[in-house]
């Protein structure tokens, strides 16, 4: 096929990009070369719209071993142990084919982790769906959850935490973000940088098929009415093969034979080979007829662009081929020597002795396009002036019922009970808490992790929203007694060619960076997903933050469950009563305007560190951060989890009761304290200049407001847990 501008455009390249390719090569590329350029220059692989701004992120820290630029980030947790972690999107594939899209998203992120020599120990996910009234939402939710569980459960890695949101902006573009944590000896980490000349390049894992061709390009495209035609671009996963691949790779890593290793993820063999060679400033020669294929008559173009799952590319030391092959034979996996490293600094492809491609690697990697796209700044919205008239018609008890059963607040047990969260035997905090927690096997250490996003806040004011989502991750880790160490991000946005969308991205990045620096909470890995848009309607800006922290002794794990009756309940942090962008304003008052809650980074850090001191002194019985739904929702979740009630004290100087109980002011926590320890707790709070309110005390079963029994825990639990089961029935 003769390549021209139209064919290039069909591959997702702009006319000026195609011209640049011809200029760089000083010739017209052939079809295979064009396919390689289209894969490496698409948004998903090149980060051409985001690289400029990602450079601003805070990526350094005392415990950071590896920051962005590798398959995953790595942090030091002491005793020669390290945690490898990353979050990635599989949004477009999951909308097209929810089961396989979500499943292969889980498989892909796990390969990123064990490629670095780490054994996966936990999975998390952040999933966003359209309106609960939308005709596709139920089926998409069901398919995605089955896909996540089907892959993670089969491979034997626990899913310990997650987040599920509903909003009409995702009607045509759901989000499926998958995160994995792995454990590795910090002296035995493997990287993707190729080194040395004439080193054998090894293909291992599953055979290559025609599934997933143009998957990376599809991930950088806008959806239209022909979405069903894109199903062949969705990869098909096999978790049982991935388990074999995991064990085989880890076995090979115990020997000193691997120079570099890279997962064949987006753009498959193309990206893995080019990235390895580029990092090592080398060339690479591949003989594509030696690639194990499961379909007949596959062309070089198809082989290079296939995104078939469960595959790795390895650069080995010379003479180690036979011993490595024995390992993969034992695990019944394909093993083939398909090429070698060279000093050409080109990718040279051969098929049946004919050279079918020859491209300088620098054109595909370091010299790939990088755009400084125009962007528009978002104005901070004016605050909404709520009056007493806004609240007069409301009945407090009805508001509570409506809030606790809201789709974005209610229990997601229907989802996480389909995941295996106890396999491997080290999960000590299951889904449903502030953060999932797994013990570091054979030690007293535990790793806490959570995923968070704040699309409504980011939509209202991206800079503030970017700060908030980092702070939310910080608070969730603090709430379980973990020292926050680092974060990974998955940045989900609309079309970056639109000034408004690009502005949302830039300002979210700036907000994330400011909070990350102030909290000493560096970004060590991540992913950007643009073009989340259907028929010119984009999603709300949705940066997802995965936070990781350390609990030095798992016996000090803190939960949100109220422990016993007649303990005191305190709110830590100042309640101002800001309702703008709150669930209450949205659901109860039907008000969607206004700014997000303000972020005071000094208070965030100070309040969080003070909570950790209280926990360390063993003065807190339970802790929960105040987030969506405000104080009332936070307290009721503690009641539900602990099967205990609460009696709220009357406040003489209480601001409007709705503003107090349902505002989403930031930097706040709810803690349960034994009455005998209250003076010690107050002393620590006052010493650190932390505001607190004495909210009430725990009861046996009753929830008492204004001295009147209002609900029982059983009834509140019914409201909280019932909605999603009914919705999915």
pLDDT in tens, 558-585: 999 999 999 999 999 999 999 999 999 9
Handedness of CA 275, 276, 281, 286 (dihedral sign): negative
Q: Cα–Cα distance between 187 and 345 in angstroms, integer?
A: 30
To the nearest 10 degrees (0 to 180), the angle between helices 713-728 and 137-155 is: 100
Backbone angles phi, psi at 717, to 5 degrees: -60, -40
Q: Read off the pLDDT of residues 190-219 as tens digits, 9 standing for 90 and up.
A: 999 999 999 999 999 999 998 878 654 444
Does 653 have pLDDT greater than 70? no
Q: Cα–Cα distance between 252 and 174 in angstroms, integer?
A: 38
Pair 308, 208: CB distance under 8 Å: yes
Nearest to 307 by CA among 215, 241, 229, 228: 215
CA separation, residue 696 to residues 153, 389, 566, 630 (Å): 42, 28, 9, 16
**Cβ atoms within 10 Å, residue 357:** 24
Per DSSP bridges, beta strands 73-78 and 64-66 are antiparallel
The pLDDT, as a whole number, for residue 220 is: 47
Q: Which one from 11, 44, 459, 624 is the annotated catalytic residue?
A: 44
Q: Read off the pLDDT of residues 4-13 as tens digits, 9 standing for 90 and up.
A: 999 999 999 9
Q: Read off the pLDDT of residues 448-465 as tens digits, 9 standing for 90 and up.
A: 999 999 999 999 999 999
Q: Which one from 11, 53, 90, 459 is the annotated catalytic residue?
A: 90
The pLDDT, as a whole number, for residue 388 is: 85
**Cβ atoms within 10 Å, residue 354:** 9
Q: Which run of H or E residues covers position 301? A: helix 300-305
- Which residues partner with 489 through β-bridges? 526, 545
Per DSSP bridges, beta strands 523-529 and 483-492 are parallel
Handedness of CA 72, 76, 77, 81 (dihedral sign): positive
Nearest to 634 by CA among 551, 549, 562, 712: 562
- Average pLDDT rounded to a whole number, residues 673-690: 98
Q: Cα–Cα distance between 270 and 335 in angstroms, integer?
A: 18
| pLDDT band at residue 707 using 50, 70 and 90 as cut-offs | confident
Mean pLDDT of the chain: 94
Per DSSP bridges, beta strands 334-342 and 346-351 are unpaired
**Cβ atoms within 10 Å, residue 39:** 30
Does 661 have pLDDT greater than 60? yes
Per DSSP bridges, beta strands 622-625 and 669-673 are antiparallel
Q: Read off the pLDDT of residues 517-548 as tens digits, 9 standing for 90 and up.
A: 999 999 999 999 999 998 888 999 999 999 99
- Average pLDDT rounded to a whole number, residues 714-722: 96
CA separation, residue 449 to residues 60, 112, 403, 572, 624 (Å): 19, 18, 26, 22, 15
11 given a catalytic annotation:
no
Per DSSP bridges, beta strands 334-342 and 200-205 are antiparallel
Does 229 have pLDDT greater than 60? no
Q: Cα–Cα distance between 37 and 35 in angstroms, integer?
A: 5
The pLDDT, as a whole number, for residue 651 is: 75
* Interior angle at CA 472, CA 481 and CA 169, nearest 5: 145
To the nearest 10 degrees (0 to 180), the angle between helices 98-114 and 239-253 is: 10
Q: Cα–Cα distance between 520 and 605 in angstroms, integer?
A: 9
The pLDDT, as a whole number, for residue 225 is: 52
Report the side by side order of strands in the sheet with 542-551. Answer: 427-429, 436-439, 446-453, 542-551, 483-492, 523-529
* Interior angle at CA 37, CA 33 and CA 41, nearest 5: 175
* b/e burial code for range 572-607 (CB count within 10 A of at least 16 → b): bbbbebbbbbbbbbbbbbebeebbbbbbbbebbbbb
Nearest to 368 by CA among 37, 57, 704: 37
90 given a catalytic annotation:
yes
| pLDDT band at residue 265 using 50, 70 and 90 as cut-offs | confident
Percent of the chain with pLDDT over 90: 91
707: three-class secondary structure by DSSP:
coil
Nearest to 108 by CA among 293, 270, 242, 244: 242
Does 140 have pLDDT greater than 70? yes
Q: Read off the pLDDT of residues 332-386 as tens digits, 9 standing for 90 and up.
A: 999 999 999 999 999 999 999 999 999 999 999 989 999 999 999 999 999 999 9
DSSP 520-567: T--EEEEEEE---EETTEEPPPEEEEEEEEEESSGGG---SS--STT-
Q: Cα–Cα distance between 608 and 613 in angstroms, integer?
A: 9
Nearest to 448 by CA among 425, 422, 476, 419: 476
Backbone angles phi, psi at 693, to 5 degrees: -120, 135
CA dihedral 687→688→689→694, nearest 10 degrees, is -80
Q: Read off the pLDDT of residues 472-515 as tens digits, 9 standing for 90 and up.
A: 999 999 999 999 999 999 999 999 999 999 999 999 999 999 99
E runs forming strands in 255-333? 258-263, 283-287, 311-316
- For the chain, counts of helices (H) and of strands (E): 26, 28
Percent of the chain with pLDDT over 70: 97
Q: Cα–Cα distance between 685 and 669 in angstroms, integer?
A: 12
The pLDDT, as a whole number, for residue 343 is: 97
Backbone angles phi, psi at 677, to 5 degrees: -110, 5
682: three-class secondary structure by DSSP:
helix
């Amino acid at each position: 096929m003769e390549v021209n501008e139209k064919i290039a455009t069909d591959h997702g390249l702009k006319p000026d990009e195609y011209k640049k390719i011809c200029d760089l090569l000083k010739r017209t590329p052939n079809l295979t070369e064009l396919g390689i350029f289209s894969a490496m220059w698409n948004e998903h692989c090149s980060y051409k719209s985001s690289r400029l701004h990602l450079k601003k992120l805070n990526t350094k820290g005392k415990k950071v071993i590896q920051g962005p630029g590798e398959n995953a980030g790595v942090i030091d947790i002491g005793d020669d142990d390290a945690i490898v972690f990353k979050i990635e999107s599989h949004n477009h594939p999951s909308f097209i084919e929810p089961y396989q899209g979500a499943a292969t998203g889980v498989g892909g992120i796990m390969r990123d982790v064990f490629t670095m020599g780490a054994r996966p120990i936990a999975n998390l996910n952040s999933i966003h769906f359209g309106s609960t009234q939308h005709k596709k939402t139920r089926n998409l939710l069901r398919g995605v959850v089955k896909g996540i569980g089907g892959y993670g459960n089969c491979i034997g890695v626990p899913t310990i935490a997650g987040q599920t949101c509903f909003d009409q902006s995702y009607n045509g573009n759901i989000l499926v973000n998958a995160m994995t944590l792995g454990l590795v000896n910090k002296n035995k980490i493997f990287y993707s940088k190729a080194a040395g000349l004439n080193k054998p390049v090894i293909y291992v894992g599953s055979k290559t098929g025609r599934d997933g061709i143009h998957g990376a390009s599809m991930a950088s495209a806008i959806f239209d009415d022909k979405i069903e035609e894109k199903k062949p671009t969705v990869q098909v996963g096999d978790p049982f093969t991935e388990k074999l691949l995991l064990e085989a790779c880890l076995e090979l890593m115990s020997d000193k034979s691997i120079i570099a290793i890279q997962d064949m993820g987006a753009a498959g063999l193309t990206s893995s080979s080019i990235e390895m060679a580029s990092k090592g400033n080398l060339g690479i020669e591949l003989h594509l007829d030696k690639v194990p294929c499961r379909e007949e008559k596959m062309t070089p173009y198809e082989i290079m662009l296939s995104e078939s799952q469960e595959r790795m590319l390895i650069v080995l030391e010379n003479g180690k081929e036979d011993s490595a092959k024995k390992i993969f034979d034992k695990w019944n996996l394909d093993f083939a020597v398909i090429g070698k490293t060279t000093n050409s600094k080109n990718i040279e492809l051969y098929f049946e002795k004919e050279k079918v491609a020859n491209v300088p690697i620098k054109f595909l990697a370091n010299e790939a396009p990088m755009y400084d796209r125009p962007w528009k700044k978002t104005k901070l919205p004016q605050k909404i002036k709520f009056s007493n008239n806004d609240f007069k018609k409301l009945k407090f008890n009805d508001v509570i019922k409506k809030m606790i059963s809201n789709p974005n607040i209610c229990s997601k047990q229907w989802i996480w009970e389909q995941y295996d969260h106890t396999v491997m035997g080290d999960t000590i905090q299951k889904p449903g808490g502030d953060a999932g927690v797994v013990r570091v096997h054979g030690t007293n250490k535990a790793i806490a992790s959570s995923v968070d996003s704040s699309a409504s806040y980011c939509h209202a004011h991206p800079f503030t929203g970017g700060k908030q989502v980092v702070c939310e991750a910080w608070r969730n880790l603090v709430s379980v007694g973990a020292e926050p160490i680092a974060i990974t991000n998955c940045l989900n946005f609309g079309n970056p060619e639109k000034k408004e969308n690009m502005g949302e991205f830039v300002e979210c990045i700036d907000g994330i960076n400011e909070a990350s620096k102030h909290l000493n909470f560096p970004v060590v890995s991540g992913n950007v997903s643009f073009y989340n848009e259907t028929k010119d309607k984009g999603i709300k800006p949705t940066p997802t933050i995965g936070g990781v922290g350390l609990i030095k002794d798992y016996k000090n794990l803190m939960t949100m469950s109220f422990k016993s009756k007649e303990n005191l309940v305190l709110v830590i942090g100042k309640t101002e009563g800001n309702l703008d962008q709150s669930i209450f304003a949205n659901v109860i008052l039907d008000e969607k305007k206004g700014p997000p809650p303000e972020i005071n980074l000094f208070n965030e850090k100070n309040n969080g560190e003070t909570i950790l001191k209280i926990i360390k002194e063993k003065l807190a019985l339970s802790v929960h951060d105040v987030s969506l739904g405000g104080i009332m929702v936070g307290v009721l979740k503690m009641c539900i989890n602990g099967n205990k009630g609460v009696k709220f004290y009357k406040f003489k100087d209480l601001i409007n009761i709705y503003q107090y109980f349902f505002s989403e002011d930031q930097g706040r926590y709810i803690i349960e304290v034994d009455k005998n320890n209250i003076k010690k707790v107050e002393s620590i709070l006052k010493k650190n200049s932390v505001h607190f309110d004495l909210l009430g005390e725990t009861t046996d079963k009753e929830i008492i407001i204004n001295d009147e029994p209002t609900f029982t825990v059983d009834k509140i639990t019914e409201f909280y847990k019932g909605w999603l089961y009914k919705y999915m029935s």
